[in-house]
Structure 1
Amino acid sequence: MTGQNSLFFVGNATTVLRLGPFTLLTDPNFLHRGQWTHIGQGVVARRLKDPAIGIGELPPLDAVVLSHFHGDHFDRIAARELDRDLPILTTPHAARRLGRRGFREPVALSTWTDLDLAKGGASLTVTALPGRHAKGRLARLLPPVMGSMIEYRATPGATPLRLYVSGDTLVHDDLREIRERYPSIDVALLHLGGTKVLGVLLTMDGEQGVDLLELLRPRQVVPIHYDDYSVMKSPLSDFTAEVERRAPSVEVAYVDRGRTFTLPG
C-alpha cells in the first residue's frame, strides 16, 4: 500500500485510497470466505473470496467513505474493530445507524452536500452523489445509497484529482447531473456484480457498467464489487466482454485483490 496517489484493492467494495497526505477507506468489509452476512429484508449472502488484508493491517486512516448500510459494505468486523472516533462519511440513514452502534463521528451527507478535509496546503473534498440501489417498489425496502466524488488538491490552486465511487447504484436519469457538474473525471470505481435478489437487479451488471462509462466518460475505470458474494450474478467477464464489444473511450484497469493501482498526479 505505497505510492503518492494510489488505490489498494482489499476486496468487494473495500479500497484504501492514498491521496497525498490523506488516507481513506471505502466500504469496510473484512468478513472471510464462507462467512455469512445479512444484506437486508431477511436476505443473507455468503462471502466467496477472502479480503486481501485484515482490518488490523490497515494504515492510519483520516476517514471512511461508506456508500450505504448493508452487511457487505459495513460488516460486524468493522463495527467491532474500527476506531469509534474515525469520521465516517455516509448517508443520513447510515449515520443514524452508526451513531446507535457507538461511533462518535458519523457525518451525514445528503445528495450534493460535501465535507472538506485539510492537511497543510493539501485539501480533500468528498461530495455525496445520487445513487439508487433498486427501482420500483423494492427501492423503498432497501437503505438509501450514495455515490461519492472525491476531489484531491495538493495545493490550493491545483487542478483537482477527481475519483468517482459509484456505490451500489443502478443506472438512472439522476446520474446525468454528475456529468453536468463534473465534466472531467479522472478515475471511476464502479460497483458491479449484477447483484440479484428474487430475480431483481440491485447493482450494475456488465451492460449497465458500460452504460455508465458512456454517460460519465471518465479517463480511467477500475471495476470492483463483482464476485465476492453469492448474490452476485454478473461476473467480471460480463463487463470485460461488454467493454470489448462497445469500446468506450476509457482506459480500463483490472486490479486484483492485494494489488495497488497508481492514481494520476
Structure 2
Amino acid sequence: MKDFDIHFKWVGAPTWVIQIDNLKIACDPVLCPINTVQDHKYFRAKRRSEPHYGGKDFEDIDFWLLTHRHEDHIDSYGVVQINPHTKVYAHKNLKSWLRLIYHRNTEYMKWGAKATFVKEDVKVTIEAIPCVHASNFLASKLAGGVNGYWLDIEKPASSLSVYVTGDTVNHSKVKRSLEGRTVDILIPNVGGGGLDRFGGPYTFTAETLMDITELINPKRILPVHHKSFSLYKEPISKLYALKDERVLKFNEGDSVSV
C-alpha cells in the first residue's frame, strides 16, 4: 500500500503489533491467560482465549500506543512487555501504571495534542483523537477517558495514514474530530463491548462502525477487540456479513499483509 511494506499481527483483544517498513508499533498490552476473570468494578469479564504472542513479537518496538487504563487493555502480564527505553504515547489515566518505570519515555496526550516520532527517513505524527466509551453520558463518565490515535506516516515521496479508534462509539464528538479526513488503514475496536449492559455498547458494533467508515473512507479495515473477553458481545460474523471488501479477515494470532 502506497509503497509501504505492512504486516499486522493480532495478539488478541485490543493488543496488536504492526510493522510498517522498518517501523514497529504496538498497542494496549493485555496478556492475561485464558479463563482469567477481571473485575471491572461494576461487572466482571472472563478471558475466553489465550493471547497469541512469541518471544520476538514485542522486541524492538519503536513506540507503544496506550489508549486507557481498563484492565482489558493493559494488565500486569502486558505492561512488563514494554521495554522501559521504548517511547510510549498514553492517556493520562495510565500514569498509575507507568510512572515508576516508564515515566522518562512516556508522553501523556490530551485530545487534539500532537507528537512527532522520527526513525531514519520515516516521520510519524501522532494525534490523540477523542473517544466516548459508552452510549450515554453517565456511563461514559463512569468509564473514564480514552484516547484514539491518528498516525500520519511520511517517508520520501510516500505517505500513509492509520486510525486506531480505541474504545469508542460513533459519538458526534468523535465524528467532528474526523471531519475532512480520509484514512488508509482503520484499526477499530469492535465486538459491541457491554452491549447487554447499562450504557452499552461501549465500543463499535458492525452497524455503528459503518457510520464511521462512511466518514473517513478507509482503504483497509483491521478489526480487533472482539471474541477475546466475555464482555465483547457481538460476533465478528456480523461485520463479515456486510461483505465489505475492505475488511480483512483474521483470527487471534494471525499475521496478515496489508
- State the partner residue of 1:168: 167
C-alpha distance after superposition, 1:120-177 (max 9, x if no partner) = 221112111111101211111112111111221122xx34211111110011112223
- State the partner residue of 1:62: 62
Alignment of structure 1 residues 48-87 onto 2, 5 Å: 48-54=48-54, 57-87=57-87
For structure 2, the 5+ residue unaligned runs are none
Deviation for aligned residue 1:54: 4.6
Deviation for aligned residue 1:42: 4.2
8 Å CA contact 1:190, 1:222 repeated in 2: yes
C-alpha distance after superposition, 1:205-247 (max 9, x if no partner) = 2211222212221111111111111111111012222x24xx6
8 Å CA contact 2:240, 2:247 repeated in 1: no
Structure 1 Cα separation of the partners of residues 251 and 130 of structure 2: 28
Which consecutive segments of 4 or more residues in structure 1 shift more than 4 A?
54-57
Structure 1 Cα separation of the partners of residues 9 and 151 of structure 2: 16
Structure 2 Cα separation of the partners of residues 147 and 176 of structure 1: 12
Q: Give the match's secondary structure for 1:65.
A: strand
Q: Give the match's secondary structure for 1:224.
A: coil
Structure 2 Cα separation of the partners of residues 38 and 55 of structure 1: 28
8 Å CA contact 1:255, 1:261 repeated in 2: yes
Choose between structure 1 and 2: higher helix proportion.
Answer: 1
Deviation for aligned residue 1:55: 6.6
Structure 2 Cα separation of the partners of residues 74 and 33 of structure 1: 15
- State the partner residue of 1:252: 247
C-alpha distance after superposition, 1:21-60 (max 9, x if no partner) = 2211111111121112233x34321100111115774221
- State the partner residue of 1:232: 232
Structure 2 Cα separation of the partners of residues 55 and 198 of structure 1: 37
Q: Kindly tell me the number of residue pairs found equivalent between the two proteins.
A: 251
Structure 1 Cα separation of the partners of residues 79 and 12 of structure 2: 17
Structure 2 Cα separation of the partners of residues 126 and 38 of structure 1: 31
Q: Give the TM-score of the pair, scaled to structure 1.
A: 0.87
Q: Give the TM-score of the pair, scaled to structure 2.
A: 0.89
Deviation for aligned residue 1:101: 4.6
Alignment of structure 1 residues 214-233 onto 2, 5 Å: 214-233=214-233
Q: 1:38 to 1:55 in 2, by over 3 A?
A: farther
Deviation for aligned residue 1:7: 1.2
Q: 1:12 to 1:55 in 2, by over 3 A?
A: farther
Q: 1:15 to 1:57 in 2, by over 3 A?
A: closer
